[in-house]
């Protein structure tokens, strides 16, 4: 087995221990991906509306290719790939495995068809199941368990990307189509006032601890020093962000980082109104009111919902306007210990949109720290002390992106609940907005 395709199972912890548990998780994740596609037409699967967006068809094929490239090809003797060229078409960025088709041109791949991609998924599913059964009989399940678990978490990441990407695809369509219906919204009723939750600081441990699956960039666990700080008890809402807009927040350069201000000026005349940097992404004016494009179609902006689809620059400008700042990722992780990840609004609910904090929320504790929106932090995405990437091609998964990006925490309404944890580190460029990105405030505390 070559170094380039070596299974990293020896360094990737995994929870399922038996073949049955492993296949149960594998099949559940794969089925949820396909459930997300229910109601879509063939034309919806193939559009690439900007370079950062990938067609749904590509996500379906790429997540399948992952199991083929990292499990079946290197570990199963005599395995015959579904199609030799798929290794080129659906490799994302794994240079150790081979060349890749140009990312900004994925929408030009008319073939394979959607039908053929689903056939590809079925073919690989059958071979993965057979591999698990065979390795179990040989007493060698440990050799492939880790890579299958990694593959399922990789697919869950792409489930979120499928939701965010098709949202952008539908947003550029003047017909403003809906992807999935959602229940009628409750009328605005106000959310609990934001409280400042104080933390004494001092030496704290951060990073993953435990024996379940986690990505390599979540460790190793290490000590860090925190000055006293206070964190907002909830996310910033649409209504609060409107106050920033009404106070000419997008027109005051003193509130903005230089690159953020340049982005504001650059995007003033964007072709699509909702793309302009004078409001969150997907907001537009209609009948004198603010509306937003959602995955359930256009809806009035609900003032109680967490603001979403804002860049780091916008979050940082708002924080300056509010006399605060964004939390560091260490502050966020320490504060999240008082929150319950299971309470969050995740993709399991199939809403794919942030929800307001209930008026009955218990005071004096943090809320909305998991689900709803990925929260921008003020921390650069870099390695923890003692970090070592996984062995082989899987080492390209996270480590090589540790430059010029910022950390987001907490997951979103498009993140599966069994995929997120307090140590999870997401990362994007400061100007990105098409993901479900929002924020909460922090400040120094004497």
- Domain range for residue 356? 196-444
3-class SS string, 2-30: CHHHCCCCCCCCCCCCCHHHHHHHHHHHH
- The answer to whether residues 344 and 370 touch, using CB atoms and an 8 Å cutoff, is yes
Is residue 95 situated within a structural domain?
yes
Q: Does residue 31 sit in the same domain as residue 124?
A: yes
**pLDDT of 396:** 66
Is residue 180 situated within a structural domain?
no
- The answer to whether residues 222 and 207 touch, using CB atoms and an 8 Å cutoff, is yes
pLDDT tens for 168-221 read 999 999 999 999 888 777 788 889 999 999 999 999 999 999 888 999 999 999
Q: Does residue 77 sit in the same domain as residue 150?
A: yes
Q: Does residue 422 sit in the same domain as residue 323?
A: yes
pLDDT tens for 38-47 read 999 999 999 9
- Find the mean pLDDT for residues 330-339: 96
pLDDT tens for 133-148 read 999 999 999 999 999 9
End-of-domain residue from the set 109, 138, 171: 171
pLDDT tens for 211-262 read 889 999 999 999 999 999 999 999 999 999 999 999 999 999 999 999 999 9
Q: Does residue 302 sit in the same domain as residue 384?
A: yes
**pLDDT of 395:** 72
Look at residue 9 and tell me whether its pLDDT is greater than 70: no
**pLDDT of 263:** 92
Q: Does residue 370 sit in the same domain as residue 440?
A: yes
Identify whether 112 is preceded by a cis peptide bond (ω within 30 of 0).
yes
- Find the mean pLDDT for residues 392-399: 72
**pLDDT of 8:** 37
**Do β-strands 437-438 and 374-380 pair in parallel, antiparallel, or remain unpaired?**
parallel
Is residue 184 situated within a structural domain?
no
For the chain, what is the radius of gyration of the CA atoms? 22
- Find the mean pLDDT for residues 269-298: 92
Is residue 388 situated within a structural domain?
yes
Q: What is the DSSP string of 229-247?
A: EEEESSPPBHHHHHHHHHT
- Find the mean pLDDT for residues 295-309: 96
Domain count for the chain, please give it: 2
Least confident stretch, 265-279, 280-294, 361-375, 383-397:
383-397
What is the pTM assigned to this prediction?
0.93
Q: Which residue has the tokens 């700042």?
A: 325
**pLDDT of 393:** 64
- Find the mean pLDDT for residues 150-160: 96
Quickly state the pLDDT bin for 407 (edges 50, 70, 90): very high
Q: Tell me the average pLDDT of the chain.
A: 92
Q: Does residue 222 sit in the same domain as residue 294?
A: yes
């Amino acid at each position: 087995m070559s170094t380039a395709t070596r299974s990293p199972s020896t360094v990737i912890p995994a929870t399922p221990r038996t073949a049955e548990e492993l296949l149960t998780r594998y099949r559940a994740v794969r089925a949820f991906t396909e459930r997300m596609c229910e109601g879509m037409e063939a034309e919806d699967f193939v559009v690439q509306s900007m370079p950062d967006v990938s067609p749904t068809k590509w996500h379906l094929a790429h997540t399948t290719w992952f199991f083929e490239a990292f499990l079946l090809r290197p570990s199963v003797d005599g395995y015959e790939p579904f199609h030799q060229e798929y290794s080129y078409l659906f490799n994302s960025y794994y240079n150790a495995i081979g060349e890749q088709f140009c990312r900004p041109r994925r929408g030009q791949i008319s073939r394979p068809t959607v039908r053929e991609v689903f056939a590809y998924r079925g073919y690989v599913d059958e071979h993965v199941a057979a591999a698990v059964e065979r390795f179990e009989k040989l007493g060698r399940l440990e050799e492939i368990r880790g890579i299958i678990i990694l593959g399922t978490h990789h697919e869950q990441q792409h489930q979120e990307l499928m939701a965010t990407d098709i949202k952008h695809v539908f947003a550029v369509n003047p017909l403003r189509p809906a992807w999935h219906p959602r229940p009628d919204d409750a009328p605005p009723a106000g959310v609990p006032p934001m409280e400042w939750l104080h933390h004494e600081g001092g030496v704290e441990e951060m990073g993953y601890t435990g024996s379940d699956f986690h990505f390599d960039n979540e460790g190793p666990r290490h000590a860090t020093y925190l000055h006293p700080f206070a964190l907002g008890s909830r996310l910033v809402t649409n209504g609060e962000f409107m106050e920033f807009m009404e106070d000419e927040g997008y027109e005051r350069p003193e509130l903005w980082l230089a690159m953020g201000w340049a982005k504001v000026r650059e995007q003033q005349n964007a072709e699509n109104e909702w793309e302009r940097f004078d409001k969150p992404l997907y907001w537009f004016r209609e009948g004198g009111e603010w509306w937003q494009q959602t995955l359930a179609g256009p809806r009035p902006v609900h003032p109680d919902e967490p603001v979403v689809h804002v860049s780091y620059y916008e979050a940082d400008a708002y924080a300056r306007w509010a006399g605060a700042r964004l939390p560091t990722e260490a502050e966020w992780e320490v504060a999240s210990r008082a929150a319950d990840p299971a309470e969050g609004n995740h993709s399991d609910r199939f809403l794919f949109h942030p929800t307001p904090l209930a008026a009955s929320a218990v005071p004096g504790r943090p809320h909305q720290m998991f689900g709803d929106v990925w929260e921008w932090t003020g921390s650069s995405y870099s390695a923890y002390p003692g970090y070592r990437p996984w062995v082989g091609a899987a080492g390209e998964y996270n480590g090589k992106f540790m430059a010029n990006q910022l950390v987001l925490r907490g997951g979103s309404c498009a993140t599966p609940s069994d995929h997120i944890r307090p140590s999870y580190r997401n990362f994007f460029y400061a100007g990105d907005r098409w993901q479900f990105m929002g924020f909460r405030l922090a400040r120094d505390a004497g």
